[in-house]
């Protein structure tokens, strides 16, 4: 009754294998699970390797002048949209006013 399960041997993957696996994920367009199954590794391992070795796809930090220009552009757009919203509110108010010809009992 005291049957013990055989211990799992922890597999070690070298750095080159990990980087190649990540490159395959990024270049193939296939899902992480598909690539992991093909390579015979856990998709969890492949996910961690992608986080560690993958290309950083986030935007590079913008310079101060770029940030200022973007802020100015967004403020202008916000002002324009606010004006459009105000016009629509006024139009809605005019359309919803009861006319003098309306008789309600």
Dump pLDDT digits (tens) for 53-68. Answer: 877 554 445 688 888 9
The owner of tokens 């002048």 is 65
Dump pLDDT digits (tens) for 36-50. Answer: 999 999 999 999 999
pTM over 0.75: no
What does the mean pLDDT of the chain come to? 84
**Burial (CB count within 10 angstroms: exposed 0-12, middle 13-18, buried 19+), residue 54:** middle
Domain boundaries, the chain: 15-53, 63-97
């Amino acid at each position: 009754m005291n049957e013990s399960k055989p211990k799992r041997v922890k597999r070690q993957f070298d750095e080159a294998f990990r980087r190649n696996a990540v490159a395959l994920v990024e270049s193939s367009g296939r899902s992480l699970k598909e690539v992991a199954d093909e390579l015979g590794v856990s998709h969890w391992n492949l996910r961690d390797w992608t986080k560690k070795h993958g290309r950083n796809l986030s935007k590079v930090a913008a310079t101060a002048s770029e940030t200022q220009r973007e802020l100015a552009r967004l403020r202008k757009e916000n002002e324009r949209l606010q004006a459009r919203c105000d016009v629509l509110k006024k139009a809605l108010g005019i359309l919803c006013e009861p006319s003098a010809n309306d008789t309600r009992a």
